[in-house]
Chains A and B, each alone.
Chain A
């Protein structure tokens, strides 16, 4: 798992490693410098040691000359040994620059030792004069040694002058290096830290933005965080939550839509019922009266009037009863016939009705009082205004998966606007409807009943007539009473 913790640890480790490298390098440098100083100092000390040792020899020599005890002799031997050691030390210091002088130096030491030996020899032989001479000689040589030590040290200083300058220059350079290094590291660290923090804060910012969008009610923006740490996990979870909420909301919306449609349906129904109630003010009285009038007309031998009155009565009854129910096409067609009988009685020869009905199709369900308003519309617009009357065709055809009902007239046609208004279910004031049910009411009910919009089509051309076509799909429409507008 590549977590934020791991990232922080990595950064810290990198910084630590850099620091360690610098520390090691500086320590190494320091160590080296110190070694160099030490080596040079060691050279000086070795040379100085020779001077000291030679002076020690002289002192011991003097002591021995004054007081020839074995203790003094032993001391003299010891200091001689020291001088020899110092000589061996100094011998390692030879280099190109001081070769000549150093060889002289070593030989001087040898001479001193030899002179000392000679002194001892003469001393043992009690040759006082000779031994005193050798002592003087030794002293002189010792002085020369001291002088030459100074010369050598001077030469050393000259030789190492460049070296010292180098060291000083270098220590200045170390400070410069430190500054450059500091700047470089600062730069790199700032950059890395910025980049690193961006890696953490950017997903968080994205998350914040997403949360903001969510709180503003936009649930359709996907949250996408492309890192591989905890925040990505958070983002994924958050996204899932957003999805769930989104789904819930759309579900609720769907339900609300359904509810609204249902409500509308109800209102439509109530409107129809209200209108039918309005026309029910005296329906039974009217109905009974019409029946009585029919019988009376029949008894008085006016059969035609009697039939007409029966038709009116039938239409009235149908109208009273069937507004909130689906009926079979057969019943609807029967009502249509009765209505047309009445209209024929009114317009006599001016109206011609052609009916072509496929009997097979009459069992299909259809909302009550849908065809009658359409025919009535045709009568009002195609027959009434014309003196020579008009023709109305009514066809019911079986077209395999659907049934087509056409109502055609040869009137003056309908305007485009009006067709649009009707199909968009605007309430249009329709003049002179007998049942009080308008065309748009019919359209609405048809669409609600069948559940699809293209159930009705209107084709019209000016001066040639209007054709209203209903397509009723056989599938999906139950032949019994299970349509949605049923209670």
Chain B
């Protein structure tokens, strides 16, 4: 009986061992199968296709927005407005341009856009002959509509369809009014502007002058400079040397603001002076935050982008109303450094 039991247990033990090894073998097999399968799935998954080719017939209006100052906060906002509108209108929009006012690049981009026969060009106006030549002759040759944005070039010189942006004359007036509010009706004001004498700049200048001329005690000093920073610095120094009693500076062209502020700070404290500018420069807002500027005229770049796309699409789709030659003005308001903080 005992013998039998021993044999039974031995048999049971062998059976258990056998069962365990079969279990382990099966487990190993299953694990190997699983990993092989996973690996095979990864290797043979079927997303081999390259990006979808487009059907030839699908036609979208191709618009190009060209600026001289890519990736400044002002133009980024314009771009945002334009892109959103383009998305809404179902047009494809690309933003081209040059960095840091590189005019040669900028003009080349316009030329490429023209040769590429895009459907519409929204361009920052540049008041020089080449630009006018391109927009007048080339654009009409290819029959491509051009809208100027932010900075205008008169219709007669550029054959632009319309202008979308701020009323620069009004902007000039606004800044001058603020100045008289802050400074009072007497003092010396330096108006510094770009020697290129662009159309929009002249408009601002005449706006400012129109206001300040009213006050006999305000002395206006016109300082012309080229856009290079060294030149701006030198000009600032010169002006300050010639007019030691200066009270206020207005950078009529936003691009020279940085140089102006630097020039002043080289000589003395920045705080005592009233310094004003416009918001379409590369670092106007930074300067505002640092309280080096006392105030800027704030435009509505996003609005500009939006309206310009809207108008050009209207025109391309044979919209009802003809475009207003004078332009579509967007909202402007004055912003003081205090408001920013």
In the assembled complex, A302 has its CB within 8 A of some CB on chain B: no
Contact at A97–B44, with CB atoms within 8 Å? Answer: no
B95 CB to nearest chain A CB (Å): 11
Instruction: Kindly list chain A residues whose C-beta atoms are within 8 Å of the C-beta of B56.
Output: 91, 94
The size class of the interface chain B forms with chain A is 20 to 34
Contact at A40–B111, with CB atoms within 8 Å? Answer: no
Contact at A104–B62, with CB atoms within 8 Å? Answer: yes
* CA gap between A197 and B291 in the complex, in Å: 91
Instruction: Kindly list chain B residues whose C-beta atoms are within 8 Å of the C-beta of A32.
Output: 48
B180 CB to nearest chain A CB (Å): 49
In the assembled complex, B94 has its CB within 8 A of some CB on chain A: yes
Contact at A174–B43, with CB atoms within 8 Å? Answer: yes
Contact at A183–B32, with CB atoms within 8 Å? Answer: yes
Instruction: Kindly list chain B residues whose C-beta atoms are within 8 Å of the C-beta of A104.
Output: 62, 112-113, 116-118
In the assembled complex, B40 has its CB within 8 A of some CB on chain A: yes
Instruction: Kindly list chain A residues whose C-beta atoms are within 8 Å of the C-beta of B43.
Output: 29, 170, 173-174, 177
Q: With A170-B42, A173-B43, A177-B43 as given contacts, are A97 and B116 in contact (CB-CB < 8 Å)?
A: no
Chain A's closest residue to B39 (CB) is: A177
A454 CB to nearest chain B CB (Å): 38
Instruction: Kindly list chain A residues whose C-beta atoms are within 8 Å of the C-beta of B29.
Output: 184, 187-188, 191
Question: Which of A91, A93, A159, A187 has the largest count of B CB atoms less than 10 A from its CB?
Answer: A187
In the assembled complex, A108 has its CB within 8 A of some CB on chain B: yes
Instruction: Kindly list chain A residues whose C-beta atoms are within 8 Å of the C-beta of B116.
Output: 103-105, 107-108, 111
In the assembled complex, A39 has its CB within 8 A of some CB on chain B: yes
In the assembled complex, B269 has its CB within 8 A of some CB on chain A: no
Instruction: Kindly list chain A residues whose C-beta atoms are within 8 Å of the C-beta of B40.
Output: 177
In the assembled complex, A459 has its CB within 8 A of some CB on chain B: no
Interface residues of A in 157-209 (CB under 8 A from B): 159-160, 163, 166, 170, 173-174, 176-177, 180-181, 183-184, 187-188, 191
Contact at A111–B117, with CB atoms within 8 Å? Answer: yes
In the assembled complex, A482 has its CB within 8 A of some CB on chain B: no
In the assembled complex, A282 has its CB within 8 A of some CB on chain B: no
Contact at B36–A177, with CB atoms within 8 Å? Answer: yes
Contact at B48–A96, with CB atoms within 8 Å? Answer: no
Residue interface bits A303-325, CB-to-B below 8 A is 1, else 0: 00000000000000000000000
* CA gap between A163 and B112 in the complex, in Å: 31
In the assembled complex, A20 has its CB within 8 A of some CB on chain B: no
Instruction: Kindly list chain B residues whose C-beta atoms are within 8 Å of the C-beta of A91.
Output: 56
In the assembled complex, A100 has its CB within 8 A of some CB on chain B: yes
In the assembled complex, A461 has its CB within 8 A of some CB on chain B: no
Contact at B28–A95, with CB atoms within 8 Å? Answer: no
In the assembled complex, A2 has its CB within 8 A of some CB on chain B: no
Instruction: Kindly list chain A residues whose C-beta atoms are within 8 Å of the C-beta of B33.
Output: 184
In the assembled complex, A237 has its CB within 8 A of some CB on chain B: no
* CA gap between A394 and B50 in the complex, in Å: 127
Residue interface bits A17-41, CB-to-B below 8 A is 1, else 0: 0000000010001001000100110
* CA gap between A95 and B49 in the complex, in Å: 12
Q: With A100-B62, A180-B35, A187-B32 as given contacts, are A95 and B117 in contact (CB-CB < 8 Å)?
A: no
In the assembled complex, A99 has its CB within 8 A of some CB on chain B: yes
Instruction: Kindly list chain B residues whose C-beta atoms are within 8 Å of the C-beta of A95.
Output: 50-54
Instruction: Kindly list chain B residues whose C-beta atoms are within 8 Å of the C-beta of A111.
Output: 115-117
Contact partner of B111 (CB less than 8 A), chosen from A110, A140, A174, is: A140
B125 CB to nearest chain A CB (Å): 23
Contact at A39–B50, with CB atoms within 8 Å? Answer: yes
* CA gap between A261 and B112 in the complex, in Å: 132
Residue interface bits A97-130, CB-to-B below 8 A is 1, else 0: 1011101110110110000000000000000000
Contact partner of A160 (CB less than 8 A), chosen from B35, B50, B52, is: B50
A99 CB to nearest chain B CB (Å): 6
Instruction: Kindly list chain A residues whose C-beta atoms are within 8 Å of the C-beta of B50.
Output: 36, 39-40, 95, 159-160, 163
Contact at B39–A141, with CB atoms within 8 Å? Answer: no
* CA gap between A25 and B53 in the complex, in Å: 28
* CA gap between A111 and B117 in the complex, in Å: 8
Contact at A108–B115, with CB atoms within 8 Å? Answer: yes
Contact at B53–A94, with CB atoms within 8 Å? Answer: yes
Chain A's closest residue to B138 (CB) is: A137
Residue interface bits B208-238, CB-to-A below 8 A is 1, else 0: 0000000000000000000000000000000
A326 CB to nearest chain B CB (Å): 55
Contact partner of A96 (CB less than 8 A), chosen from B42, B51, B113, is: B51
Instruction: Kindly list chain B residues whose C-beta atoms are within 8 Å of the C-beta of A36.
Output: 48, 50
A482 CB to nearest chain B CB (Å): 54
Residue interface bits A69-81, CB-to-B below 8 A is 1, else 0: 0000000000000
Instruction: Kindly list chain B residues whose C-beta atoms are within 8 Å of the C-beta of A40.
Output: 50
Interface residues of B in 1-37 (CB under 8 A from A): 25, 28-29, 32-33, 35-36
In the assembled complex, B92 has its CB within 8 A of some CB on chain A: yes
* CA gap between A166 and B51 in the complex, in Å: 14
Contact at A97–B112, with CB atoms within 8 Å? Answer: no
In the assembled complex, A216 has its CB within 8 A of some CB on chain B: no
Residue interface bits B88-116, CB-to-A below 8 A is 1, else 0: 00001010000000000000100111011
* CA gap between A181 and B44 in the complex, in Å: 14
Instruction: Kindly list chain A residues whose C-beta atoms are within 8 Å of the C-beta of B115.
Output: 107-108, 111, 141, 144
Instruction: Kindly list chain A residues whose C-beta atoms are within 8 Å of the C-beta of B47.
Output: 166
Q: With A29-B44, A95-B52, A104-B62 as given contacts, are A184 and B36 in contact (CB-CB < 8 Å)?
A: yes
Instruction: Kindly list chain A residues whose C-beta atoms are within 8 Å of the C-beta of B51.
Output: 95-97, 159
Instruction: Kindly list chain A residues whose C-beta atoms are within 8 Å of the C-beta of B108.
Output: 144
Q: With A108-B116, A170-B43 as given contacts, are A184 and B32 in contact (CB-CB < 8 Å)?
A: yes
In the assembled complex, A364 has its CB within 8 A of some CB on chain B: no
* CA gap between A105 and B47 in the complex, in Å: 29
Chain A residues in contact with chain B, CB under 8 A?
A: 25, 29, 32, 36, 39-40, 91-97, 99-101, 103-105, 107-108, 110-111, 140-141, 144, 148, 159-160, 163, 166, 170, 173-174, 176-177, 180-181, 183-184, 187-188, 191
Chain B residues in contact with chain A, CB under 8 A?
A: 25, 28-29, 32-33, 35-36, 39-40, 42-44, 47-48, 50-54, 56, 60, 62, 92, 94, 108, 111-113, 115-118
Identify 12 residue pairs between A and B in the complex whose beta-carbon atoms are under 8 Å apart, listed by A's number: A36-B50, A101-B94, A103-B116, A104-B112, A107-B117, A108-B112, A170-B42, A180-B32, A180-B36, A183-B32, A187-B28, A191-B25
Instruction: Other than A94-B56, A160-B50, give 4 A-B pairs with Cβ distance below 8 A.
Output: A95-B51, A103-B62, A159-B51, A180-B32
